[in-house]
């Protein structure tokens, strides 16, 4: 059994979560970031560079076709990058030494475990949502006069446009909630224990189901902070991603026995 999965394969029990767990998890995550900032900044850099690439392709070159493959790359790479935050926190918690070879080695070894399967599931959800969003657009605006929505935003102020935005927001929120429920603790669980990705996802979903208000509040906090972090040229991600990446490990440790 690999070093990052030495705690056994038994499915952990779900704890009752309280709001104070957020505060303590964020404090512990901030302590991890302050103790080893170079790792957090390095992993956050991947997301910042990706954001800059998409922004450059869309605004400077007008190459909108870049957005789909670039956005699809985040669900593929995201779980592996997240493992970097988790491994740093796990090693500090266990009193193990931190070095690049060990941290990056754990991330590299995930390709032979369950993380790729988890990434594949996330990509399928992403592609299905992309298809469904096009269907919603065609349903509400398919009969409208052909226009370039990137330069003529007035189409969204029409009754059909407002209805499309409302439906798209509702369906998107449902997809986001489902993905969040399936992944909020499943990724650190896969890193920490020798379980299959289906068990990890079901355990994560059960945690949100048993603690809906608290866990959905945590998801809303993450979403709001990420949105604000992206406004100043994605530079806020250098702080928000390491903070919540490390804090998510500590929240997982509090959520599951």
pLDDT in tens, 110-148: 877 888 888 888 888 888 887 888 788 778 776 655 555
- In this prediction, residue 3 has a pLDDT band, given cuts at 50, 70 and 90, of very low
- Burial, 194: exposed, middle or buried (Cβ in 10 Å; 0-12, 13-18, 19+)? middle
Q: Are 240 and 14 a contacting pair, CB within 8 Å? A: no
Cα dihedral: 99, 36, 75, 253 (round 10): 100
Q: Are 247 and 25 a contacting pair, CB within 8 Å? A: yes
* pLDDT of amino acid 112: 79
Average predicted confidence (pLDDT) for the chain:
83
The residue extents of the domains of the chain are 13-142+152-255
Inter-CA distances, 75 with 32, 124, 135, 144, 179, Å: 25, 10, 22, 33, 11
Q: Are 245 and 29 a contacting pair, CB within 8 Å? A: yes
Q: Which of 37-51, 134-148, 163-177, 186-200 has the lowest mean pLDDT?
A: 134-148
What are the tokens at 217?
């509040």
Tell me how far the alpha carbon of residue 211 is from its chain's centroid: 19
Q: pTM for the complete prediction?
A: 0.82
Which residue in the block uniquely carries the two structure tokens 């690049």?
100
Please provide residue 17's backbone torsions phi and psi, each rounded to the nearest 5 degrees: -95, 145
């Amino acid at each position: 059994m690999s070093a990052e999965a030495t705690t056994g394969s038994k499915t952990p029990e779900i704890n009752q979560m309280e709001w104070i767990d957020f505060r303590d998890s964020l404090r512990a995550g901030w302590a991890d970031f302050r103790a080893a900032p170079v790792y957090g900044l390095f992993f956050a850099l991947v997301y910042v560079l990706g954001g800059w690439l998409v922004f450059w392709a869309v605004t400077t070159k007008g190459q909108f076709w870049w957005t789909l493959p670039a956005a699809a790359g985040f669900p593929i790479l995201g779980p592996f990058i997240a493992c970097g935050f988790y491994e740093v926190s796990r090693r500090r918690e266990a009193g193990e030494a931190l070095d690049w070879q060990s941290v990056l080695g754990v991330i590299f070894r995930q390709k032979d475990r369950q993380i790729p399967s988890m990434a594949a599931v996330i990509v399928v959800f992403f592609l299905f949502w992309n298809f469904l969003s096009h269907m919603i657009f065609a349903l509400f605006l398919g009969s409208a006069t052909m226009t370039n929505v990137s330069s003529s935003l007035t189409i969204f102020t029409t009754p059909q446009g407002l209805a499309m935005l409302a439906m798209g927001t509702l369906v998107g929120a449902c997809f986001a909630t489902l993905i969040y429920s399936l992944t909020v603790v499943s990724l650190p669980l896969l890193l920490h224990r020798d379980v299959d990705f289906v068990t990890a996802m079901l355990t994560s979903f059960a945690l949100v189901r048993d603690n809906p208000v608290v866990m959905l509040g945590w998801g809303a906090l993450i979403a709001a902070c990420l949105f604000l972090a992206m406004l100043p040229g994605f530079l806020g991600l250098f702080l928000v991603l390491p903070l919540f990446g490390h804090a998510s490990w500590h929240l997982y440790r509090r959520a599951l026995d």
